[in-house]
Amino acid sequence: MKNSIRKILIANRGEIALRIIRTLKEMKIISVAVYSEADRTSPHVLAADEAYLLGPAPSRQSYLVMDKIISVALSCGADAIHPGYGFLSENSVFAELCVKNNLIFIGPSAQAISAMGSKLAAKEAVSKYNIPMVPGSDGAISTIEEARKVTQSTGFPVLIKASAGGGGKGMRIVWKEDELEEQLKRASSEAASSFGDGSVFIEKYITSPRHIEIQVMGDHHGNVIYLFERECSIQRRYQKVIEEAPSCIITPEIRKKMGEAAVLSAKSCGYTNAGTVEFIMDEQHNFYFLEMNTRLQVEHPVTECITGLDLVREQIRIAEGHPLSVKQEDLTIHGHAIELRVCAEDPANNFLPSTGVLNRYKRPAGPGIRVDDGIEEGSEVSIYYDAMIAKLIVHASDRTQAIERMLRAISEYEITGVATTLPFGEYVLKHEAFVSGNFDTHFIQKHYQQEHLKKTVPSEIVELAAALSGHLYHKKEQAAEPIQETGEELSAWRNRRWE
């Protein structure tokens, strides 16, 4: 049965909220924004047709308060809720709460989220389809004896992983036997602290891995398709920084096998809507199931670029009960796309978070360039939310041109007030390992040296220096004797604090 969605509440903030709003405008669907006190004047709030305050800046008091979000949705007459990514997007309780309140959750079912929310449960669900798995434990490891038994068959090194989490938390590499017990305790303790679940499992550690993921879409009519792959191997602290589509190492034969494996993974839990099946690939290009993300991905724009599809539009159509707008045989890859996550972090100082006011914010432009952001010049980058402030996406006819276009876009992107990952992106895209395609998830450990980043002078300093130089020149021309530095002319320069 089809449901006509008239109004959607977006249970998120920043760039993803604004990105969803743009599609809603095209579809003539009323958009409802929610916001914290810190986001009162954010672009997503101003762009929405309606906007409602949730609470104070901390997300646990605003964007994570399920009952408040449901209450706002009901009071404003929304038909559906789009969770974006992060926050409540993979929370099965929230998805179920939406359904109980007759609100359409634009995502998979609560059951599918639960099934894929645990890495162990996900592995069990897909195992019946003979999808390749990294050798390791079949279930959670609770004792050192069980751990030693697994390592006898896998050998070292091994990777201890939290079942419930991600982002590198609850994850430990163990290189030899005498480290096993201590690392097992540490991983379990960190998993319990971070996710409320101390369950961990063990896998053989692949020493030179590539991180490849497959975008899938499923409707309520039994159709599931794959929208090709994304290469996500440029990471810091197990978090992606640069993504591209397609991967430069995937052959058509491997692409088909991975895509079909991803479709089977989705079907194993009756998956509907947008999702991503993640694989790890070894040096021999053997791939293994890693996990499934039950939401729209941060890096979905590169898939949109190479397929020509609006994935948010597809999500909404699926939620309304429509079949997928395309069939597998209709899909082809058009060109090459690269995305750089522009994060407020200092790549010259171990990627430490950087906060402050954006004194200058000028986006790049031109053919094949897209910027997904939720900020403007004068916006404050606070401590309360994720460090990613924008996504810079380029699309070109091939990978070489895409790299050239990204470098040009980075050179045009002007941000002052906070440190960003733009210089790191330039470093990577110029590096021989990336250009040749001969890289893995250890790119930073193998190739990155932060002292090599160029220290660029902010444009505002250059402009002020030029103005000051001109001022002093004219003073000198007018005066009979050299200017004496009394402090009057140079006080602003000397006293100014540069961001």
Q: pLDDT tens-digit profile of 371-413?
A: 999 999 999 999 999 999 999 999 999 999 999 999 999 999 9
Q: In the beta sheet, which residues pair with residue 381?
A: 356
pLDDT in tens, 32-75: 999 999 999 999 999 999 999 999 999 999 999 999 999 999 99
- E strand segments, 287-404: 287-293, 336-343, 345-346, 352-353, 356-357, 360-362, 369-373, 380-381, 388-396
pLDDT score for 438: 97
Q: Tell me the pLDDT band of 194, cut-offs 50, 70 and 90.
A: confident
Q: Which long-range CB contacts under 8 A does 353-358 form with residues at least 24 apart?
A: 353/383, 353/387, 354/381, 354/387, 354/418, 354/419, 354/420, 355/380, 355/381, 355/382, 355/383, 355/418, 356/380, 356/381, 356/417, 356/418, 356/499, 357/381, 357/417, 357/499, 358/415, 358/416, 358/417, 358/418
Q: Give the model confidence (pLDDT) of 236-249 as tens digits.
A: 988 999 999 999 99
The values of phi and psi at residue 174, to 5°, are -120, 120
DSSP assignment of 247-262 equals -TT--HHHHHHHHHHH
Hey, what are 318's tokens? 């699926």
- Which member of 19, 172, 230, 295 is catalytic? 295
pLDDT-derived band of residue 138, with 50, 70 and 90 as boundaries?
confident
The yes-or-no answer on residue 313 being catalytic is no
Q: Which helix (H) or strand (E) holds 179?
A: none
pLDDT at 140: 92
Question: Chain-wide mean pLDDT for the chain?
Answer: 91
Closest Cα to residue 226, out of 171, 174, 281, 267?
267
Give every CB contact of residue 289 below 8 A, 6+ residues apart in sequence.
122, 123, 126, 131, 132, 133, 134, 261, 265, 277, 278, 279
| Structure-token pair, residue 232 | 């996500």
Tokens 């789009």 belong to residue: 82
Containing 227, the helix (H) or strand (E) segment is: strand 224-236
Q: Does 488 have pLDDT greater than 50?
A: no
Return the axis-axis angle of helices 144-154 and 180-195, rounded to nearest 10°: 110
Question: Across-strand partners of 211?
Answer: 280
**What is the arithmetic mean of pLDDT over 261-283?**
97
Query: Mean pLDDT throughout 8-12?
Result: 98
